[in-house]
Structures are given as structure tokens and as C-alpha cells.
Structure 1
């Protein structure tokens, strides 16, 4: 428990540091540069640099100048990493040629990290080319000895730099890859949310407009002979329009994470949906068994697929069509079947795979490992849509 609490604290602390860095990058860069500048000056004026130098007689003023040249450019390392590395390489070249061999030369790894983080991979070759001359000059001038003991060799000078360069490059590439993965995850989530909203808008607008169209057609014919039925049709149009507006507002409010969302439609709303389709002029018989416990998302999937199937029947089945909706619940799955039939062979309906409606139904079913089968009846007198949605507490 203590380890978990400590890791959470560290994550929160790192998150705050990253947030501060994002909000005030200049302050962070100045702080880092100042910290390393103080360390370099302490090393230069205190004589600590002599423990790793090949020539301890290098003037102190030159050591101070070289240290400053190796750390002050760090302030611009994120904005211009290649230019910073080039400037630092000049100071590192003088350090190697003079025999000072300052440890501040390792500061070159900071711009190397940012090159790997923000530049194309080939830029690392240019960075390696900038680091090579100082190491070559130092190795040629002092091939057999450096440091306070007079021991060592060129390999002990070059190999640590090679390892450090490799680690800095790998760290930059790793952080870059993780950032790109996070960006891709955000983009995928945004695309999925756009698709979800598009499906909701299609289902809401398509269904309600189809119902309103049916009611308007019926009201137009009834206006001449049965004014009371025309008035009922107008009332139904007004009710359907208000429902459509309410659902659209709910979908649009979903774009605001702080908004209070109204409940999504579920299986309990199917009778009202069917009544609305009947009012629009499509005879519908229903057989809906008692529902087991289904998640809100699964219920919304069933509701939207039934809604889309009824909308298609209302638009394509013809005036003499009859539609049956059955909803059955087995231990392993929930099955919804919507069948539209006509007395004579119906006009060709959209084939499976055409239009946004069928594609949207398939996508909704796939989200819950369901299967959707739709197509004409064998005798050509109708169309059937069958959804099988596995129970979440049963094996897939």
C-alpha cells in the first residue's frame, strides 16, 4: 500500500512538473540552465576539472569560458537543438585540444535528446558528426593518459561518450514514440466519438423525419374528408418534432463533459417507439418478452437497430406492408427480429452494405460482439433484420 501511495505521489508530482513546463517553458529552461551553470562554475573555479584533465596547466579563465560555452546554450536547446549542439561542439573541440577535457562536455547530450525527440531520425547522424571531431582531436592529442593518476586511454574517453549518445538518442526516440501513441489514441477516441454522434444523429433525424413524413401524408389525405384525423396527425407531428428536438439536444449536450445528460433510450422505450411508427401509418405487431439485466449501452444498441429497421420499413415497404417486431432473451443472447411483409413481391430494398443506416446498424452490433443479418425474404415479399447480441455474462 505504501509503495502504491508513493508511486501515485510521484506520478502527481511529475504531472505537475510537466504542466508547469508546458505553461512556462522559458522559466523551466532558465532554471535548468542556471543550475548547470552554477555546477560548471564551481567545478571550474574549485579546480575539480583537473581530476579528469590531460593537462592541468590550462588557464582557469579558459576553463571558465569553456564551461560557460558548454552550458549557457542549454537555454535554447528545445527550440534550436541542432544550432545549440553545433555551438557546444566548438567549445568541446577547444576543450579536447587544450587537454582540459571538461565534464561539462556531456551537456551536449541534452540537445541530442531533443534532436531525437523533435527531428527526423536522420538528424541524429548530423548530431553524431558534430560530436565526433572533439573526441577525435582529444584521442589523437592524448592517446595514452589523462586524469589525475596519469592513467587511461583514448578508449576510456570515447566509449563513455558513445554509450551516452546512444542512451540519449534512445531516450528521445522512446519519449517521442509514447507521445505519438498518446496523440493517436486521442485521435482514435475523437474519431470514435464523431462516428457515435453521426450514428445518433442519423438515427434520430432519419427516424423522426420518416415518421413526420408519414403523418403529413396521412393528414393531407384526411384533411378533405376527416378533419378530426387531420388534426390528430398534426398533433402527432408536433409531438414527434418535440421528441426529435429533445433527443438532438441530448446528443449535442454530450459534447460538453460537464453537461447533465438525460437517460439514453432503452428497451423500456420500445413500445413508445412502435406506437409512433403505427401513428405514422405502418401497421406493426410486437412481441417483446421481459428483459433481463442489460447494460445501458446494449439496450441503446437494440433500441437504435429496431428504430432504424422500422424507419427503413416505413420508407421502403410500401402502403400495404405489415411489420412484426420480436424481442427474445435466451441465456446466451438477446435476439431482435424485425420483419416487413407485403401481399405481393416488394420493390427492391437497399442491399446490405448500401447506405449509412445498415452500416450503422452493423457497427452498433459489432461494438457488443453482436451479429446483424439483414436481407430480403426468400419469396421476395419482404425484408428481415435479425440482431443477435451476446449476453455480457456469457461466453463470446
Structure 2
């Protein structure tokens, strides 16, 4: 029955109520218990209108009854009734809301009867209907009907304003709920994209890891027969290496199968394939220029695949979303400890913020760079859209299994 209010709201309501009660009591010429009770009831109703609209409505009715039995004329204290009716419609439950509307109608009838039909209860305070000659029933009915209409309009207007406030608050809450739902949907969509990309990366990593372990097994088996010094110890050690490697290969395949639930075999791209990729993009009509700074180094198969996929996705995004008629530059910078890749393209205009967060290509590039220890950033710069990736490029002691010779892209 009690609504949750902030300390500031509760303090404000109490202070306003106390102030109104003091002002009303200061206007009293002669104090009596009934009048003080009436004023305190109206003040209490005003103070509790937001904290508990039904309690405030009951207190307001109690004050009105005390006022009528005391024969007091309408005064400023009755304005509390308007505030209470507003609160029932704005903050009350559905039942309290409709009770407020019923109270507005009943209050109009009771007030009209009190003011027009029972003027003798006002202790000498007379309205014009009090001087109406007995028998002027049509005039009395007219005045009564007019008073009912005026009171109903006044009380109903307060209730209607509260209902409008309630409707606006409900609409605002609905918009907020919709915004939260859209945000949750966006996050779920982003998570789904990441999961899809993880599955795709799992497929790529399968071939890399499987091939590498297969090479280890082959080398271990070959060395087992090649070594002749201390053949028993060497044979046992190398046999253990081959056994462990085979078991590791099986475990990796099981884990990857659990990760992606399906497996699609296929050759994995290397740095050698970048030249063909760029030529294919140029053939599609996109003017792409590429340059290499520094001396190219050998990368592992996983790192080469990440470089290829990042460049591929970046150029695909240009074809889908960028201005395909303006030049695109791809720069490979080997001068630092990491390989820096920059793809700079033109846009059709302002880039929406969600493009930097949700796109399949951007999510995939970010995931690939992160999984191999690199970094990724993408976003608009004026009328350009820049993709930047940093790929660890340590010196390898021997060439990776899937790549025998470095290829300069410059």
C-alpha cells in the first residue's frame, strides 16, 4: 500500500503539507476542535498523497465529512482534494485509480448537495440559493445541476491530469524496456557472431594444429630409427614422444569438435595467397594499393592465416559498406617487433557507431587478432574508415610447416 519514495520526495511532501496547515490555521479567527480536525485531515492527505494514494483518499473523505458536519464553507484546505485525486490517477494501482474517478463523481454530487440543498448547515454563511423562495424548484434544480457540473469538471480535471502523467510514465517505462530489450538482443547477436567466428577459427586451427602434430609424429618416428647411439634409450624416448603426440592430436581433435560441433576440411591461406587475394579484389573494381615497409619475416601458420583473414575481411567490408570507387590502401609494416596492418578506405558518409561493434567482419578480425596475442582497432576517421591490426611477428628458428619461403608484398 506504501509506495517507495526518495527521502527528498518524502521531505518535500511533508514540508509543503506542514506549511499549508500553518497558513490555514493562521487564517482561523476562532479555533474549535472540528475545524482543527478538518485542517489536519486535509494536511495529512496532502502529505501522504504520493506515499499512499488510497490512504490519502480515505483521509480526504474523512476531512470532507468533518467539514460538512461542522458546517464550514469551502476554503483553501479543500485544494488538497485536487492533489489527492491527481495522485490516485498518477500513482495508485488500477483499483485506486478507478476509486479516485468514482470519488470525483461522488464528491461533485455531495459538494453540490452540501452547497445548494443544505445551505442551513453553513452556520450563517449563505449562497444565493439560500434566498430562493420555497417552491422555486426549477431554479434550485438548475443551480444544483450547474454546481454538480462545475465540481465534476474541477475534480475530474485533476484526476485526468494524473491519468495523463500515469500514461506518460508508462510510455517512458515501455520505451526504456524496449531499449533494454534491444540492447540485450544486440548483445546476444554479438555473442552469436563471436561464437560463429570461434567455430570458424576452430576449423582453421584444426588444420594448423593437426598438421603440426602430424609433422612432429613423423619426425619422432623417423628419428627413432635414425639414431644409433644408445639405441634402447633413444628408441624408448622417441617412442614416448610419438605416443604422446598422437594422444595430443586426438585430444585436440576432440576439443575442437566439442567447440564447433562440425568440421569442414580445406587448405589454409598463407602470406603467399595475399597477392592473389589483392588481385581478385582489384578485378572486382576496387582500386587497392598495397605496400610493404621493412623486411618481411617468417610467421607461424596460425599467424599467417590471421593476417590473411584480417586483410580479407577488411577488404570485404569495404566492398559491402565503403565507397568502392575511391582508392583503398593496405600497408604491411614490418619495422617493429609486430607486424602492423593498416587498411584505409573511404566511406559514403558518417559511419554508424554500431558498425564498429557488431559487424561479422569486425568481430572476426578482432577475435583472430586477440587469439594470437595481437591487437585490433577499427573506426571512422572523418570520411575514412581505418582498420588497424598488430600481429606478433617473432623470429622463427625454422620455417613453419605450411610456408617455406617468405613473399614480399611490396
TM-score for both structures, normalised by structure 1? 0.48
When Rg is computed on C-alpha atoms for both structures, the one with the higher figure is 2
TM-score for both structures, normalised by structure 2? 0.47
